[in-house]
Structure 1
Amino acid sequence: MSLLKEVILQMFFVLIPFVLFNIYYRDKMRNFSQSFILVTSSISLFLAMTFSSSVVEGVIFDVRYVIMFFALVYGGVQTGLILLGEFVLYRLYLGGDGLFIALVISVFSFSVSLLMYRTYKATHRKTFFTILAGVLFSIIALTLTYFYLPHYFVKHLTYHLLVIPLPNILGIWILMSLFSTSVSDKEIFIKHAQNEKIETMSHVAASLAHEVRNPLTAVKGFLRLMQENPHDFTKSAQYMNICMDEIQRTEMILSEYLAISKPLTNRHEQVNVVELLKVMRAVMSPFAILHNVELEVRAPDISVIIMANPDEIKQVLVNFIKNAIEACTNVRKGRVFLSLVVEEGKAILIIKDNGVGMDEGQMKRLGSIYFSTKSSGTGLGLTYSYHVIHTIGGTVTVNSKPNVGTKFSIIFPYQE
């Protein structure tokens, strides 16, 4: 039972690079580096030698050659040589009767690793060469141990036939297989993410070109009319006003695209939603009056605190309120109602209007960068707003019916 524990312990040490890879690179958009292989292999080698297996003091066995072969394959010759140097120095420090034979074994085993690692990288029969490397390491260790310490070897024959081959063969196969699979999966993930990013960028570029081309085409047309009739000052002034409106619309579209492409900040601080709603009522009331829409805000008397970036939350509220008001522009007695309530540790902001409303298909597409219910909209405002809310741990739900109105419920994590 004691021997089995020692084998299992060595197997654990040999898997350290694989475990640390999956922890460290789990959420990163890059694969392993040479420095990562060096550091993790050094840790693995140090622990394997520190808690090595032994039946006679001074004669130790561990998975050092498995780790050095792994370092050669994934870190290169320089990494392998550094690990060899680490092994030699640490083995000299540990000392004991087995020091000389350990150094001799290391020379032969490292030479075999140098001969095999390039073949391993080039071949498609990786499993075969992996197991072959483990077998060769075991044969070298067993043969040289028997040659230099025959009485010791024969006396502890069962120990050597179990503790040396098993960790070498099984350990190198498990480590190389698992690490190779993880690296391949990471490469697929990175390529998929890059392709997805390129596809998104191409869609955004196409959408931006489409949105900007329309006002520019109008401006170009009216400028040509002004060029054809330079003496008609009345029409020229009219055309000039239209051009200015189209240019202003272009600026608005570009601003929205810049806002959605700008990364969200990590600055989170206490934001009193009640006070923010009062500010929003003052800011958005002139816009509501301009569109003949009544804007009403109802909030509790207590402070309702959330953790967020106040500027981002303010922009979110502007986007939602502006959309609600514009939805009521062509409705008789248009009304937008904001209500803030606190329920079960959550702050719920309800934004309700009696505007044109949406059907089921439109509600499902809300938040998409390419979708807007307005003829001149880009959908970027809600895309940005949804992103901000989700980033701080909030959610958005919507209920709407055509020609009846829309109700948004924004749920924020509440700081009591």
Structure 2
Amino acid sequence: MLPKRFLTFQYYKKTALLYCIVSIMVCFLFSYRLNDSVVMDLRMVPFMIGALYLRQGPLLALLIIVFRSFYGIDSGFYFILGFYSFISIITWFISPWFLNLLSIKRILFSTSFTLLFSIINLTIMVVTIPPFRILDIFIALIIVAPIGVAMLSFIIEMIEKNQLLYQQLLKTEKLEAVEQMGAAISHEIRNPLTSAIGFAQLLNEESLESRKRLQYLSIIKGELEAAEQVIKDYLTFSKPQIDTLEKLNVNNELFHILKLMEPLANSYSIKISCKFSSIGYIEGDRQNFHQCFINIIRNVIESLPNGGDILIETEVNKKNIIIYIKDSGLGMSKINIERLGEPHYVTNGKKGTGLGTMVAYSIVRAMKGTIDVKSEVGIGTTYRFSFKRMI
């Protein structure tokens, strides 16, 4: 059983094995002969990596033996046959133990293991190689091969470490998103439920007038509906339901939305102006379309506590219908723009929990549209919505 920290390299086992095979082939292509029976190259490096990290020693040893046979069936061939067969058997048994070592120990062991068999190889070859070529053999076996294995082992371990950190980061971000979502929903639901519970307790008073009783029941109903709306928003974000596809006149729908938002804009001393282009149609769900732009426009209005201007503009081209929502507010930094649509992130001060923006983003994706936000601090923000145009 492989340790979890080393599963990334094993996940790409076939690709890594292919690299080892190709590397061995390249080593043979750029080999050089010391005499009629001795061929020198760097085959030991990819062999050790593949044998220890991939447990493919027998396969790579067979490949080396086959390639060596192309140079002739001589004493050198029989030496390679016995030498690599012996190493492949050893690495086959020790590879599972090797993979359970700590990273630094794997680097040290693979380097030392290569050095050990290089020394054995050198000792055997000294008997058959003329003395004037001993320096070449020493450098190739004792210096180059162990250093090559050490470098590749270090690279593999660094890649594995980076992959592990990346997976941990993703897990942390997912947990943080769940925590933020839970905090947002519990905060939004707790407020109306607390009010509803308070008025429900007041209903227990026997001396309560019927007029006030009806008033309290109306308040409780309103608060429970508010809590229900939060749940609906969350469900819409999780999986927006596009129940019916309709042909929507974008200008008419936006005009209707602006009429609904006019009282809120007036309360914030905000002037909303329109600049609609020629009529264009998209395919979508009317209710979701309204909810999307009501959420966005409400957030824009609430982010302008001191008043200001909002411009709603449409643009029609051959393929798409573009909707712009521009404000004259304080603007946002790049970091703030990147966080738009995250749970519990708001642009309108302490109000809200970010669910509205999340829902809007989710609806646009469900309608196969795109959102692009551009903003400059102190100048304002522009939302750009793009939907496929119906011809």
Q: TM-score, with normalisation over the residues of structure 1? A: 0.64
Tell me which residue corresponds to 1:169: 146
Once the two structures are TM-superposed, the CA of residue 254 in structure 1 deviates from its matched residue by 2.2
Question: CA separation in 2, counterparts of 1:155 and 1:409?
Answer: 77
Question: CA separation in 1, counterparts of 2:378 and 2:184?
Answer: 27
Map 1:147-158 onto structure 2 (within 5 A): 150=128, 157=134
Once the two structures are TM-superposed, the CA of residue 174 in structure 1 deviates from its matched residue by 0.4
Question: CA separation in 2, counterparts of 1:400 and 1:123?
Answer: 50
Asked if 1:91 is matched to 2:59, the reply is no
Asked if 1:46 is matched to 2:24, the reply is no
Map 1:379-394 onto structure 2 (within 5 A): 379-383=354-358, 392=370, 394=372
Map 1:241-256 onto structure 2 (within 5 A): 241-256=218-233
Asked if 1:397 is matched to 2:372, the reply is no
Aligned counterpart in structure 1 of residue 115 of structure 2, from 127, 135, 159 = 135
Map 1:220-259 onto structure 2 (within 5 A): 220-229=197-206, 232-259=209-236
Aligned counterpart in structure 2 of residue 186 of structure 1, from 150, 163, 166 = 163
Please give the root-mean-square deviation of Cα atoms over the aligned residues, in Å: 5.1
Map 1:10-409 onto structure 2 (within 5 A): 32-37=8-13, 39-51=14-26, 52=28, 53-56=30-33, 60-75=39-54, 80=55, 82-88=56-62, 91-92=65-66, 95=69, 96-97=72-73, 98-110=76-88, 113=91, 118=97, 121=101, 128-146=108-126, 150=128, 157=134, 159-229=136-206, 232-261=209-238, 277-288=250-261, 296-301=273-278, 316-324=292-300, 337-340=311-314, 350-352=324-326, 367=340, 369-371=344-346, 373=348, 377-383=352-358, 392=370, 394-397=372-375, 407-409=380-382
Question: CA separation in 1, counterparts of 2:212 and 2:349?
Answer: 29
Question: CA separation in 2, counterparts of 1:89 and 1:362?
Answer: 58
Once the two structures are TM-superposed, the CA of residue 183 in structure 1 deviates from its matched residue by 1.5
Tell me which residue corresponds to 2:243: none
Question: CA separation in 2, counterparts of 1:330 and 1:48?
Answer: 68
Question: CA separation in 1, counterparts of 2:57 and 2:287?
Answer: 52
Once the two structures are TM-superposed, the CA of residue 205 in structure 1 deviates from its matched residue by 1.7
The range that moved more, 169-178 or 240-249, is 240-249
Deviations 1:90-133 (A, max 9, x none): 63376232432212111343356468764792595555434322
Alignment CA distance shift 1:131-1:363 (3 Å) = closer
Once the two structures are TM-superposed, the CA of residue 249 in structure 1 deviates from its matched residue by 1.1
Alignment CA distance shift 1:217-1:126 (3 Å) = same
The range that moved more, 51-60 or 238-247, is 51-60
For structure 1, the residue ranges without an aligned partner over 5 or more in a row are 1-28, 264-271, 402-406
Once the two structures are TM-superposed, the CA of residue 140 in structure 1 deviates from its matched residue by 2.9
| Contact 1:105 1:140 (C-alpha < 8 Å) held by counterparts | no
For structure 2, the residue ranges without an aligned partner over 5 or more in a row are 241-246
Once the two structures are TM-superposed, the CA of residue 63 in structure 1 deviates from its matched residue by 4.4
Residue type of the partner of 1:254? I
Question: CA separation in 1, counterparts of 2:172 and 2:89?
Answer: 42
Aligned residues: 356
Question: CA separation in 1, counterparts of 2:305 and 2:135?
Answer: 89
Question: Percentage identity across aligned positions?
Answer: 21
Question: CA separation in 2, counterparts of 1:167 and 1:40?
Answer: 25
Once the two structures are TM-superposed, the CA of residue 169 in structure 1 deviates from its matched residue by 1.4
Once the two structures are TM-superposed, the CA of residue 181 in structure 1 deviates from its matched residue by 1.9
